Every structure is written in C-alpha cells, then in structure tokens.
Structure 1
Amino acid sequence: MKEKIVIVDDERDIVSFIKDSLEDEGYTVFCAYNSEEALRILPKNPNLIILDVMMPGMDGYELCQKIRESISCPIIFVSAKNTVQDRIKGLMFGGDDYMEKPFSMKELKTRIYAHLRREQRIQGKTYQRLHQKNLIIDLQAYELFCHEDKVALTNREFEIIKYFILHPNHVLSRDQIYEHVWGLEAIGDSTTVTEHIKKIRAKLQKCDPNVPYISTVWGVGYKWEG
C-alpha cells in the first residue's frame, strides 16, 4: 500500500528533501507551505502528517489542534524549537512525536514506519488496499479511488470488482459472478450481471478513459485487466 503522507513546512528546500526521500520509499506525498494549504489537503485522508511549528499565520500548534477536529492519524512535529517546553506543548496540542531540526532522515523514516505500524495494530487489522493501474481499491472500507478521486459504487458493483481482482487472470462467467455476488438463493438470473458490468465500465471510463479494466471474452465471460 502507498500510505499518504502530508508535509507542512514553509521551508521549501526541507519540504523538497523530505518529499523526495519518502517517495523513494514508496509513499504518496502531498506538500503544503502554510496552514491554509494544509487544511485544503486534509480531505485526502492522510495516514501521517509531518508538521513544522514556526510558520506564517496559523502556527503548527494551532494547526495541529484544527487537524485533530477531523483527522486522527499520527502527527510528527519537526521543528527548530527544541526546549522541553516546546516538546511538551507539541504533544499537548495533539502531536504524537517531536523531532528537532536539523534531523536525520533515516531516523525520520524509522519513526514514520513505527507510527504507521502502530496504527495498523491499533486498528486490529492490516491495510487491505490494492493498487491496480490508476485505481486504489480498499477492500475493507468498500471504497475505490481513481487518480485519487473516489468513484461512487453500489455494494453490488464493488463486490463484482472485488471478485475480479481477487481472481487475477481468471475469466469469470456471468453465472459465476451472479452466484458469488448475489448468492445461490437470490431471486433473478445472471443477465443482471451484464447491466452491472456496463455501469462499472462507464464509471471507470469516465475517470480513466484510456484503460479498459474489464474485457469481454466472447462466449465465456469477463476478465479483469487491472
């Protein structure tokens, strides 16, 4: 899974350095250079936030309080303010960790990994997100994202996609899909699968027109091309 990390710091060189290092580790990174930009990124639902303290306008402490109104992910303060009082203030305002500038990138990466791993344990589950070309499929939240935008799917549509991606390189017949998604006791027939496939294709093509995610194998069924 590509966890999403937000960096908030008005020092662009530091932001660029951290961003490059984290992207090398496979993380998806969003950058903000002030509190207003950071608040606009929050709908991305980050898995972790790296936050500076001294910024123009709303400082890091105030921003942390604001973030905590809607986001519970780990927040690591990274700041040149290095007194014990600064560290305590950061933790009291909702931070989970505090590092001094200048810092070791290796240590920051280790702390990020530790916090993300702890979040997994707290949730009592591993992240069940799959990446398929330009799609992110969250098997537990029943959510699908295309180019970071959420695609509105019904439960049946999501179940069909889930069935496809859990059976890679398999050609699935309409009857197989119907029995798996609707159940053996369902009232109806497998022709409804065709209509659901059409709707899924239309939704995926709307956000990703050049990628055919579901192909038809004539006379047999359908195959996921993710």
Structure 2
Amino acid sequence: MNRLNETILLVDDEEDIVSFIRDALELDGYQVLTAASGQEALSLCKLEPSLIILDVMMPDMNGFEVCRVLRETMTCPIVFLSASQSEVDRIRGLAAGGDDYLLKPFSMAELKARVHAHLRREQRIRTQKEQGILRFPPLTVDCLGRTVTCRGQEIVLTNKEFMILELLAMHQGQVFTREQIYEKLWGYDAEGDDATITEHVKKIRSKLAAVSEERTYIQTVWGIGYKWEVKS
C-alpha cells in the first residue's frame, strides 16, 4: 500500500494528542489533516480523507453527531477515540457508523496497526469495486451483473435482497442500523418500516446457508443492526 496516497483526518481538540498522533502517522508516510472541532472536521471532509480518527468529546458537536453527519455522504473508515469505557458509548459509536473504537490512553503501535488494517481492507475493497466483483471465497458478488454465486452455483436473490447484500458487502465491517439500510434502499419518504429489513436478512441468510454452510457473512450486532464480516 502506497501510504503517500493515503490521507488521514485527525479530529481532536487536545493539542498534545493531535501533535503526538500526527507526528507518528506522518513518520509512517501518511498525509495528516487536523481539526479541533466537529464543524472544522465536516469542512475538511470535502478533501475526501482515506480514514478519519475522531475523538468523542469535543466542544461543539460530539464525535457521535459528527459521525452521523459524515455517514450521509462518506464511506471511509472512522475510528473513534474515547476515554469512556462504557459499553453504551461503544454501541453508540457503532450505531453512528463508526468502524472501530479505541480507548484512551492507547498505544501508538495499536493505533497505527488498526489504521493500517482498515486502509488495507479499504484498498482491497476499492480494487474489487473497480472490477465490479467482490470475492469472499467461496462466495462471489458480481455488482455489475447483479448475481451472487458460490462455487459456481448461482444464489437467486430478489432485487431488494441483492441490494441489502451488496450494501453490506461493499462496506465490510461497517455496522448499519436497520433504519439506515431502509433509508438507503427505500428512501426517506418510503411508506413502511425497517422491520422489513429483518425479514429480508433472514431470507438472505437462509439462501446463503443453503450453499455455504461453513461461513456466515451477515453478522447481527445486537441492539444496533448488521454488518458484513467473513468468519469461518
């Protein structure tokens, strides 16, 4: 991975932490943008960073609020930093659209390892998107042909089922609430409710399990929603 092409947006109002993290990431070859407030972060996101490191506690908008706004237009990984060890806050971070949650104080080695892992995954998915093919052996998702196959056998999905599977698969590891999935696929003004997402997911899982019993792809994140994660 060419880190010179990777830009990280670091959002934190503590100058010492910002300086420490920025210097460490720049030494690793990343370009680093910094913001001391939520509003400044939203403005800098026009530059399309590859990854965002986002503090939870800030003076104007908290990190959860910033994340929710960003997720309306951005899909890049978002890593929360927080001094709170509350499980509720970790759940709030995931529900807002975060990909990771790192507790303060943290080791720089761990932060850099997580940043690298998220960017490596994003680069792999980006390459697959350009080809129109997502591969999760033995499963293959053809986004252009709108087909899903497992060991050469096609899994027949309805249009909405394919759209849900594609959305989750294209954002591997990112948690989506049922409300977010419904709004993205049906639109804000659609009549109905997000309970239909649960039924669609059940049907997708059943069809996947019929041909790929050794792997589960759509994971339930209890109290929040779903994410795509490949587990043996």
TM-score using structure 1 length: 0.54
- Residue number among 96, 99, 102 corresponding to 1:93 in the alignment: 96
Secondary structure at 1:78's aligned position in 2?
strand
> Is the CA contact 1:7–1:29 (under 8 Å) kept in the aligned structure 2?
yes
> Is it true that 1:40 corresponds to 2:39 in the alignment?
no
- Aligned partners of 1:48 and 1:75 also within 8 Å: yes
Correspondence for 1:71: 74
Q: How does 1:151-166 map to 2 (within 5 A)?
A: none
Aligned positions of 1:31-180 closer than 5 A: 31-125=34-128
Q: Deviations over 1:113-161 (max 9, x none)?
A: 000011122223599xxxxxxxxxxxxxxxxxxxxxxxxxxxxxxxxxx
* Structure 2 equivalent of residue 22 of structure 1: 25
Aligned length: 127
Determine if contact 1:54/1:60 at 8 Å carries over to the other structure: yes
Q: Which amino acid aligns with 1:86?
A: D
The whole-number CA distance in structure 2 between the counterparts of 1:35 and 1:59 is 7
Letter in 2 for 1:118: R
| Superposition CA RMSD, Å | 1.5
Letter in structure 1 aligned against 2:92 = K
Q: Which residue of 2 aligns with 1:200?
A: none
CA deviations 1:84-140 (Å, max 9, x no partner) are 11111101100000000000000000000000011122223599xxxxxxxxxxxxx
CA distance in 1, matches of 2:12, 2:66: 12
Distance of 2:95 and 2:15 partners within structure 1: 27
Percentage of matched positions with identical amino acids: 57
Q: CA deviation at 1:34?
A: 0.3
Q: Which has the larger radius of gyration?
A: 1
Q: Report the TM-score when normalising by structure 2.
A: 0.53
| Partner of residue 162, structure 2 | none
Letter of the 2:33 partner, please give it: F
Match of 2:12 in 1: 9
SS at match of 1:124: helix
Residues 150-186 of structure 1 deviation map (CA, whole Å, 9 limit, x = unaligned) = xxxxxxxxxxxxxxxxxxxxxxxxxxxxxxxxxxxxx
